[in-house]
Chains A and B, each alone.
Chain A
């Protein structure tokens, strides 16, 4: 994993890192983007949670059931927080994934959110 982007906005509170990003993908986090998000989240050892549009409820960011259930759609403000080992790296990677539109523009990209797509 590369170094966290220095430009990505993020806050620190004790051992917890948090960021906020707007979902700009056309339909939001449906099947494929959800897979990309949760697979990337699960690649980090820290706890990762997300909250939608100012909701006080934090959902497990590694659960595709929770992510799909939240019906995150275009325009949603998504807060991502992580606590534990590599927490800062995790929120930056996940935030950038959302900003990159989950790599959906690359039709044949892998669905695990990693930028190195495999050949079609």
Chain B
């Protein structure tokens, strides 16, 4: 699937976008981030929790509207009216009835609404209605019916957009300008995204975070309510990677004289970096006054990468704080990022921006080095209340890719974030790959590959830079381990020895009664490992081991003997394993 590629240049001094609100403003950059939040209520309380959160959000919006001028109040009235509409709530409530937590149900339902608004903006060449309906499953809600009814009308509407001249839109009339060809209906998607986040925040029990006065707001888009809650009297401006000149926030910015530039594309801007927003020329200058280089994280030259030896050695990451514990020069890359540990609440896990931010941070630390991001492996002992309840039963049930395919909205959020992050990192060429957790059958990989392709196409339609990374599988379910030759859709294999041992021995390693059985099944594990190594070599596909077994020098030596040449271990094991690369003769096997 062809997708546009963008390679971020090192330290551009000026970025060109599109003027959305005239004037010039200078100030420190504020990078928009999804706020962290505690877990939302779950289970039978999900309906009540969602209703409560929507009530809180309506209250907040009404308070904002009460102090707003007529034009701002119009924007807020639209959002309030949407929240008051049972038809908006119905899909979310249907999802709760199917057992989803309040946060996931709400976020997924809103994503479907947003997709429907953006779907036929006149630029698409494919049927995005199918995405919308499919993303939600069996069309159980009235909204899906509405989407279906509308299907045949989309071309007519696209024509309508084309025919419409400039200056006819009431919003544009107010501000006296309007970009031709932009769809005012699609622009309303920003309002829905705003509502989505406001209610998620309300579910988490915390208000929306404002940002410092006189700062330059930097983000993909800006929620109108955030604009309205902010004090612009001290100055400041807006620089958006995406955005629209007919969005509500652009209209409000013009009305209030806040300089704004949109369509800048991926922005390499550090928090606090001085920016000059020229909303008349449509440009943003970096470090306009002080020519000092931006405070970018220290970058290790790629030439210093790994000292080489008998095998490749990468590191496993569980959190961003792990980054500080690893000297990038001592490893060949990142063999496993357990992304499920990066997000501490459903609100974070459901925030595409939060995902992108985490991946950017990791990629920036390992420029030019391969980084394998494993999709959220939720279930079992890895729960996110309100999203995934987990529990021992799910160890053999809805876990890993099973959960993601059953709840594709979450998978789509993560897929989009990975596609975006993979496109923008410095020297990111081919360095990002994706690991699928708990794969049992080839069709699971095919389904996830289709989901990635769909999201890549969606981003391409929206003009957002994306790169489709190769997908590989965790080899941790015995059924998959024994049939690697059937996995045409998998680009590589990575053996998760902890879970493979657990499922092979039918013995949980954290159960004191069963643990000796788990440990005693080592012979079976090594026989299976030998078969895995032989099969992967015959298929010519990359093979690695990212389980704890690789962190044990004795076991690692045995694995090298079986033909394994690529290992990834915890940061704490690097000191013990690293020297073995030279101690062991290379090429044996």
Contacts and interface: CB of A to CB of B under 8 A. Distances in A.
A6 interface: no
B452 interface: no
Most buried by A among B157, B169, B170, B174: B170
Given A60-B87, A73-B160, A32 B153 contact: no
A10 interface: no
Nearest to A66: B87
A64 B185 CA distance: 13
B32 interface: no
Interface residues of A, number: 35
Interface string B172-187: 0110000000001100
A104 B71 CA distance: 11
Contacts of B191: 31
B171 interface: yes
Contacts of A104: 170, 173
Query: From DSSP, what is the main secondary structure of chain B's interface residues?
Result: helix
Nearest to A42: B84
Contact of A27 (B143, B153, B164): B164
Most buried by B among A39, A60, A65: A65
Interface string B271-311: 00000000000000000000000000000000000000000
A35 B87 contact: no
B168 A70 contact: no
B116 interface: yes
A10 to B, nearest CB: 26
A114 interface: no
Most buried by B among A34, A55, A111: A111
A118 B70 contact: yes
B146 interface: yes
Contacts of A18: none
A112 B168 CA distance: 21
A71 interface: yes
A107 B185 contact: no
Contacts of A66: 87, 146
A95 interface: no
Nearest to B184: A30
B88 A65 contact: yes
Place the interface of chain B in its size category: 35 or more
B198 interface: no
A14 B169 CA distance: 39
A69 interface: yes
B358 interface: no
Interface in B17-70: 69-70
Nearest to B169: A27
B85 interface: yes
Given A69-B150, A111-B73, A120-B70, A32 B87 contact: no
B554 interface: no
Interface string A44-82: 000000000001010110011110111101100000000
A33 B77 CA distance: 11
B74 interface: yes
A111 to B, nearest CB: 5
A120 B69 contact: yes
Given A66-B87, A69-B150, A27 B70 contact: no
A38 interface: yes
B150 A65 contact: no
B163 to A, nearest CB: 9
A112 B184 CA distance: 20
B169 A65 contact: no
Contact of A63 (B75, B85, B147): B85
A34 B169 CA distance: 14
B170 A70 contact: no
A51 to B, nearest CB: 11
A107 B71 CA distance: 8
Nearest to B73: A111
B113 A65 contact: yes
Interface of A: 25-27, 30-35, 38-39, 55, 57, 59-60, 63-66, 68-71, 73-74, 102, 104, 107-112, 118, 120
Given A35-B74, A64-B81, 15 more contacts: A26-B169, A26-B170, A26-B173, A31-B188, A35-B77, A64-B88, A65-B113, A66-B146, A68-B117, A69-B143, A69-B146, A69-B150, A71-B157, A111-B73, A120-B70
10 contacts: A30-B169, A31-B74, A31-B75, A34-B81, A35-B74, A35-B78, A64-B82, A66-B87, A74-B160, A74-B164
9 closest A-B pairs by CB: A26-B168, A65-B87, A108-B70, A104-B170, A63-B87, A31-B78, A111-B77, A27-B169, A30-B184
